[in-house]
Amino acid sequence: MIVKEEFLNQLRQFFNLNLYEVKIWAALLSRGISTAGELSEISDVPRSRTYDVLESLEKKGFIVMKLGKPLNYVAVEPGEVVERAKKLVNRDAKEQVKKLEGLKGGDVLNELESLFKQGIEFVEPSDLSGALRGRHNIYTHMETMIKNAKKSVYLMTSSKGLIRKSEALKSTMQALAKKGVDIRIAAPLDKDSLEVAKEFGEFAKVKAVEKMDARFCIVDEQELVFMVMDDKDVHPTYDVGIWVNTPYFSGAMSNMFNMAWKNMKDVSVASKSL
């Protein structure tokens, strides 16, 4: 059996299989039905491991064992394997989420929190900073910052960024607004982002920016994340954000934001020019 290594690596990634599993599976697919000995020879997998691998593939729903002597194994149609694999991923994900939820209030999380509090005492203020690579990581970190806000959240973004943040952060900010947190959002508006701005306006203060191009988020005048590139010129995977946790810089940025805020247009006024 000749199967390109690149193809086997793709199978490993898509279906979360090890090397022996993809070799045996590919060998069985090429035969339709076969014995363990034949599959071992075709796939170049040691015979001592072949039965374990076949048992694993059977449990995952990739193959079926045919009763009789000698034992034969039958390949399941690939389209059906994909559907079974999806169910396995969903099941495992739910189980993992349940385990992680179970950590709340437990000894393991308490121990982790204790270690963190001990370690943070030795951290210099200048060390509370870092680079965030990829838009997914930026938004995840931003959500954590916003979730812990006590007084204020100031957000400056692009027109398309406003739409993205509606999907990623709207529910979190809405919950904070109910707790009395001051939420201010500034962004250039176009026909696509206007409706999103109005939705944010139901619980936050939103204004339109005309001559300012920046992307940042300030929380409680303490933490700040700012993006270093224009989102029109960078792929989401290569977007970069800088995070700092310092009232000195964050406070200065907050003051500048609030000064600019006074000169920004309300959404209702800006919408008339669109």
| Residue 34 shares a structural domain with residue 75 | yes
Q: Which two tokens stand for residue 204?
A: 């936050």
Q: What is the pLDDT of residues 17-76, one digit of tens each?
A: 999 999 999 999 988 899 999 999 999 899 999 999 999 999 888 988 887 788 889 988
Same domain flag for 92 and 14: yes
The amino acid that residue 63 corresponds to is: I
Claim to verify: residue 159 and residue 90 sit in the same structural domain:
no
Q: Which domain holds residue 53?
A: 5-96
In a domain, 160, yes or no: yes
For 183, the 3-state DSSP assignment is strand
pLDDT digits (tens, 9 = 90+) for 98-153: 888 888 878 778 877 777 666 655 555 555 578 999 999 999 999 999 999 999 99
Q: Where are the alpha helices (DSSP H) in the chain?
A: 5-15, 19-31, 36-43, 47-59, 78-101, 107-120, 135-147, 159-178, 191-200, 247-261, 267-271
Look up residue 71 and give its two tokens: 């034992």
d(CA 184, CA 254): 11
Q: Mark whether 46 and 167 lie in a shared domain.
A: no
* Residue 112, domain member (yes or no): no
Let me know whether 88 and 139 are in one domain: no
pTM above 0.75, yes or no: no
89 and 15 inside one domain: yes
Taking the CA atoms of 101, 241, 223 and 129 in sequence, report the sign of the dihedral they define: positive
As for how many domains the chain has, the answer is 2
259's tokens:
């000064």
Give tens-digit pLDDT for 243-270.
998 888 899 999 999 999 998 988 876 6
Task: Read off the CATH number of the domain in which 150 is found.
Answer: 3.30.870.10
With a pLDDT cut of 70, the percent of the chain lying above it is 92
Confirm whether 111 is domain-assigned. no
With contact defined as beta carbons under 8 Å apart, do 31 and 42 qualify? Answer: yes
Q: Quick check: is 29 in a domain?
A: yes
Residue 20, domain member (yes or no)? yes
Per-residue tokens: 24: 């045996």
- Does residue 106 belong to any structural domain of this protein? no
Please, is 107 exposed, middle or buried when counting C-beta atoms within 10 Å of its C-beta (0-12, 13-18, 19+)? Answer: exposed
Quick one: average pLDDT of 188-202? 91
The per-residue pLDDT for 274 is 62
